[in-house]
Every structure is written in C-alpha cells, then in structure tokens.
Amino acid sequence: MYCPKCRTEYIEEATSCDDCGAALVNVLPEETVVENGKLVDVFTTNNSIEANFIKSLLGSNSIGCTIVNEHLVSINIFLSNAIPIKVAVDQQHVAKAKEVIDQYYKDLRENK
Ligand SMILES: [Zn+2]
C-alpha cells in the first residue's frame, strides 16, 4: 500500500498514512511521480553570474533549479556571449518560479 500524497510505502494492513492521514492506495497514480519531473526553462541570460543569482533566488524560495549550458560557457569563454544560459525548474514549480523572478525584477526597477 502507498500514500498517494507523500509516497510512503506501507504494509498491506494499513489503510491510512501515518504522516498525512491520506487514504492509502494499492498502486501509486502515474501523475504524482515527481522524481522524473520535466524541467522547464523559466529564465534565459547570457550572463552566468546572473544565472547563478537567479538560481540562489529560487533556492531561497525553496524552488530547486538547474542551470543549463553553464558548462559550455565555462569551457569556451570566447563564445560565452553567444550561448544562452537557461535556468530550468521542475514543471510543477514553473508558475512560482516565474512569479519570484518577475517580482525580483519589478522590485529592482522600483528601487533604482
Ligand atoms: Zn502520506
């Protein structure tokens, strides 16, 4: 038996989750699989410092993210301005990540 919310596995006799109280199911539904979540780009820049800043900004909002292409830039410094660096988050965090980034740039404009 499995908890559909927190994905804990339980013995056959269990009927509800100890952690969150959800009713247990025999098979976990496919759509709750998060470990293979699709990554979606939420920010693109040519500046690796900016990309890393966005990464830490998202991290401070509990949103895990991955910087795409950064290694290409560091091994080919002469092309660094031509290679877009992307910050990607799990698709379930896309809306929140965009909100955090938008808010940051909005604050930046208003506080100059
Ligand atoms: Zn649970």
Q: What spacing in Å lies between the alpha carbon of 24 and ligand 1's midpoint?
A: 8
Res 33: pLDDT? 45
CATH number at residue 99: 3.30.70
Res 32: pLDDT? 44
Sheet holding 39-45, edge to edge: 39-45, 85-90, 65-68
Residues sharing a CB contact under 8 Å with residue 38, sequence separation 6 or more, in sequence order: 90, 91
- Do residues 27 and 50 both lie within one domain? no
Handedness of CA 54, 33, 29, 17 (dihedral sign): negative
- Do residues 62 and 98 both lie within one domain? yes
Neighbours of ion ligand 1 (CB under 5 A): 3, 5-6, 17, 19-20
Q: Report the domain count for the chain.
A: 2
For the chain, 112 residues long, give each residue's pLDDT as a single digit of tens. Answer: 999 888 889 998 899 999 899 999 888 766 544 455 688 999 999 888 899 999 999 999 999 998 887 666 555 556 555 678 899 999 889 999 999 999 999 999 997 6
- Do residues 43 and 26 both lie within one domain? no
- Do residues 53 and 26 both lie within one domain? no
Q: What spacing in Å lies between the alpha carbon of 2 and ligand 1's midpoint?
A: 8
In terms of residue numbers, what domain contains 9?
Answer: 1-33
- Do residues 25 and 46 both lie within one domain? no
Res 74: pLDDT? 56
